[in-house]
Amino acid sequence: MLAAQGALDSAADLAGAAAMTAAGSLPFLHAEALVVRADLLSSIGARPDAEQTFEQARLIFRECGAPARVRHVERVRTELGEGRRHLTRARQAPPRICAGSPRQPGNLTEPGGR
């Protein structure tokens, strides 16, 4: 049931973003940029600024009618409070091998296939 609700929320978020973008309004994308900025601020130790930026993003997502993104921002903010980072952790993951032989160029997810 929770997975179905999450899928519905994500679909509603995407539909809302598409409608806003088509109308020429970009608050949803602005909020996404704020989440990335907040993660970068937290990674350099500017925690009060990061928390304020997360709050701005959360409010924009709420105004956009994007409940899944509101929950995502709240989860990332909680991880910040616990001393864990969300986006930084993803950047440190090793490259994954895609379909095909690992010896062939272009099979790694990094640019240039290496």
Per-residue pLDDT reduced to its tens digit, 46-70: 888 888 998 999 998 888 888 888 8
97 beta partners: 108
Tens digit of pLDDT for each residue in 66-90? 888 888 888 888 877 776 654 444 4
Give the integer Cα–Cα distance in Å for 7 and 90.
Answer: 22
DSSP H or E run through 70: helix 67-81
What's the DSSP call for residue 13? Answer: H
Residue 111 pLDDT exceeds 80:
no
pLDDT band, residue 24 (cuts 50/70/90): very low
The answer to whether residue 18 scores a pLDDT higher than 80 is no
Vertex 22 angle, CA 71 and 25, to 5°:
65
| Beta-carbon contacts of residue 110 (< 8 Å; ≥ 6 apart) | 95
